[in-house]
Amino acid sequence: MTINESQDEIIEEFAELEDWMDRYQLLIDMGEDQPPLSDNEKTDDNLIDGCQSRVWIVCQRHADHTLSFRAESDALIVKGIVALVIRVLSGHTPQEILDAKLYFIDRIGLTEHLSPTRSNGLLAMIRQIRHYAMAYSALA
């Protein structure tokens, strides 16, 4: 599935829910579906700067040069937000990640329903994933 196909799928899932309380619950459910990181993965190196909550993102490079991401947060909604981001970007090459325009965030109304600190945290998560992609693209 392409990055845009994943984004479109998320937009459809959120479009089915008109009430933002239901959308928040969907985010929480998505976060709870993520497998937890091990304690040895919850290091300062994997901790995202710029998030009010504690968020860790782990990147793995595969033989086909795609990257996959796993993440965890100590806050339920933030865990769901990072789950959305990694759902869209995992399984793609560094260049695909760097070229991606993440339009789903605005289209599902997430930007307007996040506090300023959570919005900053979301940007920090995306920035870190792009840093991973940039670092691994240099190895290609």
Residue 117, pLDDT score = 83
Question: What is the reported pTM?
Answer: 0.93
- The reply to whether 59 belongs to the active site is no
Domain boundaries, the chain: 3-137
Task: State how far the alpha carbon of 97 is from the alpha carbons of 34, 81, 91, 103, 127, in Å.
Answer: 21, 17, 9, 13, 11
Residue 52, pLDDT score = 78
Residue 140, pLDDT score = 61
- What DSSP assignment string belongs to 74-136? SSHHHHHHHHHHHHHHTTB-HHHHHH----HHHHTTHHHHS-HHHHHHHHHHHHHHHHHHHHH
Residue 50, pLDDT score = 78
Contact 26, 13 (CB under 8 A): yes
Tokens 């937000």 identify what position? 81
Regarding the domain delimited by 3-137, which CATH topology (the fold level of the hierarchy) does it fall under?
Answer: Sufe protein. Chain: A (3.90.1010)
- Give the active site residue among 30, 51, 97, 102: 51
- Print pLDDT tens along the chain (140 aa): 999 999 999 999 999 998 999 999 999 999 999 999 999 999 999 999 877 789 999 999 999 999 999 999 999 999 999 999 999 999 999 999 999 999 999 999 998 888 888 888 899 999 999 999 999 998 76
